[in-house]
Amino acid sequence: MKKILMTRVMAGIILISLFLGLAPVNLVMAAPKEETASEDSDAGDMEDKEQEQSVSEKEEEAGMVDAPERIRPEYEETSYIKDIFFSKTTMQGIYSNCGVYFYVPEYWDTKYLYAELEYRVSQIISEAGSTLTFYLNQSPISSCEIVYEGGDSQIAYVRIPMELVQEGYNSFMIMAYSSPNGSCTDAFSSANWLSISDTSHIRCGYEVKPQEKKIANYPYPFLSTMNETGKGLIIAVSDSAENEEVAAAMNLMADLSSQTSGYNSIQFSLLSDMNLAEKSSTILVSKYENLPAEYQKKVTDTNGIENQGIVVLTEDNEGAPLLIITSKDGNCLMEAAYMLMDENRVSQETGYMARVMAGSAQLAASGNLDNQMMARNYTLEELAGGGLEFVGLFHKEQIIYLPFSEDYYLSEQGNITLQFRYSDNLDFSKSLISVYLGNIPIGSKKLERENAEQDELMVTIPKDLAGTAASSIKIVFDLELADMTCSFKQDQMPWAYVSEKSQFYLPVSSEFNLSFDAMPLPFRKDGKFNNVLLVISDNPASSELDLYAQIVGMYGAGVEPYGTFYVKRAKELSGNDGDYNIITAGTYENNNYLKAINDKLYFSYSNGGKGFESNEQLILSGNYSENIAIMQLLESPYSSGRGILALTGANQETLNYAKEIMRDEKLRYGLSKDCVIIDRDLEVRSFRFIMNAQGGEAPTLIETLDQNKQSVLFTIVATSVMLMLLIAVIIILLRIKMYHKKKDEE
């Protein structure tokens, strides 16, 4: 639902950019076919935009463009404020644009919005008539002139009319124009003339609407713009912590972790321990017979609980939000969790109680639109809702965001075939089309007059990019005209069009390096959990479950429902459990599975689990080895293509170091290679072992010295002392010999 709204907004912004003759907005996302506008509609909109442009030009000629507003708008103070920041952007060329998208939740009672822009302009502005025009959801709201003021930072405020703000996704766009004396020179087209700082933002002041008890609002009130880290939210399971309970709750943890911002404060606990933490809301996953009586009473209607999942939104005894997921069938707990993770399904639950039928997850998964394109053979219409138009002079680009998750890696067998046409009034000695994978060019072609009505470009994925992540494809046209000014009529505007029938064959690569750099592989595939088996201790405590929850939150950020995810105790493992990607964590004492694979760890436990053994890459001192946590990615010894993540520590305190790394978004994305050591200061050392085993690059001397600073220093000092002692002994022996020789001569 939210994705569809965002697609509509972005499609409208792209159209308005094109019709105004500006550089196209660099945002294109997958859109359903029915969102594509008809040609008749496009033609009508074109006329409207031309008229709008004419009015704008007349206003500029008459000097009606306002000066920037320099005073912060004053509004009545609100209980809550939300700032949405711009990315740092440089405006370039005659026409340019940038913008930001923001989301207005249903529970907001929005009182005001305004933009605060901090920017610098270059001296070239003194030679050019330059303006900024601001749009909200495709509607122009104001314009202002910009002037050079000695290169200092400038502030401008833009009031946003509340009547244009809509529930859901909104777009605020800045369209910029600058041309010295109305000319369209190459020299100016590449000039950087305005830089917008990343301190620029849209400020939203809002109150919260009276809370409605409806599941459709999930994850509100458990996560919201008032609490973006999930502080105070406890995900709990019964004290029995049955495998099905833990599996369903871990999936909810992954889903909610996707929506935290910056830091993940969500905690995972056994039901009896959750009051030990600072709690403001609770999500409880438990089989019905494991629920204490006070919670069973809150499930007021138990009809069908034998073979259905029941979801109840209520309050606990302190009046705090409480969501209970329960059933007498453990498998139905996961069914209910999947419903909550599926935006299209949860949005239909307008009451405080929902029933989820057994088998509904399989039905929903089979109807998923992504499954219809699993062959990875797409048309542009499937990816972007239609063809792409490029209108105007010089550099024009549009980005197609691919419908892949972070776990998608390219195969070198992929290729892109673009069918396109373009105007015949171009300067064909300078005009061309280029294709980028992300920001890396992979192919280009010069435009030719004889092919203007029907042209084609086919590019293959370069071998050096195979096995890398793919999130977007950028199509760029450089459209040049000979001896033209910026005052030509709309029908003389250069253009290009990429057909909706263009083909994108993008198969997924089956090869990848097992490393933290490739996160979330191998534990996710096609956006879903990929045959994940969580191996927990036989009697897990809250601290252990919270540790697993942070691992799942890290690898599951952005996960979609309907994957394969299981939980087993170490004592329950059998020979049939080899074909899984395994996650296990804990200490040598509390996790028997870690004992079983100790000889396969890069840094194995020593001294009965009190510390870790050294290896060829790092010599560990005794004290240091007892005060670290180690995250180790291993190739599975049971099944080819599978991996094991073992998070090991000498005690719970050291495991907390790793937990803190995983909670912090910036820190966890700093993990690399296939083994990391984390110390009490949260310093991370990274090592690569799998590449060495496969005959890859060995660490350089510098890397080895860096990783073994203490050991090398000890060796140098020890060697120096021994050498000095040896010299002293030699001198003493020589003196004794000389003494005896002198004695004999006497």
Does residue 151 carry a pLDDT above 50?
A: yes
Which ranges constitute the DSSP H helices of 597-708?
Answer: 622-625, 652-663, 665-668, 690-693, 701-707
Angle between helices 542-556 and 652-663 (to 10 degrees): 30
For the chain, give the percent of residues with pLDDT over 90.
Answer: 51
Residue 43 confidence class, pLDDT cut points 50, 70, 90: very low
Q: Is 403 exposed, middle or buried (0-12, 13-18, 19+ CB in 10 A)?
A: middle
Residue 279 confidence class, pLDDT cut points 50, 70, 90: very high
Whether 179 and 92 have beta carbons less than 8 Å apart is answered as no
Does residue 597 carry a pLDDT above 50?
A: yes
Does residue 178 carry a pLDDT above 80?
A: no
Q: Which of 370, 360, 374, 372 is nearest to 329 (CA)?
A: 360
Does residue 710 carry a pLDDT above 60?
A: no
Mean of per-residue pLDDT scores for the chain: 82
Residue 420 confidence class, pLDDT cut points 50, 70, 90: very high
In this structure, the number of other CB atoms found within 10 A of the CB of residue 645 comes to 21
Q: Could you report the per-residue pLDDT of 209-236, keeping only the tens digit for each?
A: 988 889 999 999 999 999 999 999 999 9
Q: Count helices and strands (H / E) in the chain.
A: 17, 37
Cα dihedral 258, 261, 265, 269, rounded to 10, equals -10
Q: Minimum mean pLDDT among 403-407, 544-548, 579-583: which range?
A: 403-407
Q: Which of 185-189, 446-450, 493-497 has the highest mean pLDDT?
A: 446-450
CA-to-CA distance for 558 and 257, rounded, in angstroms?
Answer: 8
Cα dihedral 260, 261, 265, 267, rounded to 10, equals 10
**Phi, psi for residue 630 in degrees, rounded to 5:** -130, 125
Residue 368 confidence class, pLDDT cut points 50, 70, 90: low
Q: Which of 562, 101, 565, 550 is nearest to 343 (CA)?
A: 562
State the residue for tokens 């079983």.
596
Q: Could you report the per-residue pLDDT of 449-488, keeping only the tens digit for each?
A: 999 999 999 998 887 777 677 778 899 998 888 765 554 4
Cis preceding linkage at 507, omega within 30: no
Q: Could you report the per-residue pLDDT of 292-317, keeping only the tens digit for each?
A: 999 999 999 999 999 999 999 999 99
Contacts of 439 (CB under 8 A, 6+ apart): 474
pTM: 0.77
Whether 617 and 626 have beta carbons less than 8 Å apart is answered as no
**For position 62, what pLDDT does the model report?**
37
Mean pLDDT of the 142-157 span: 87
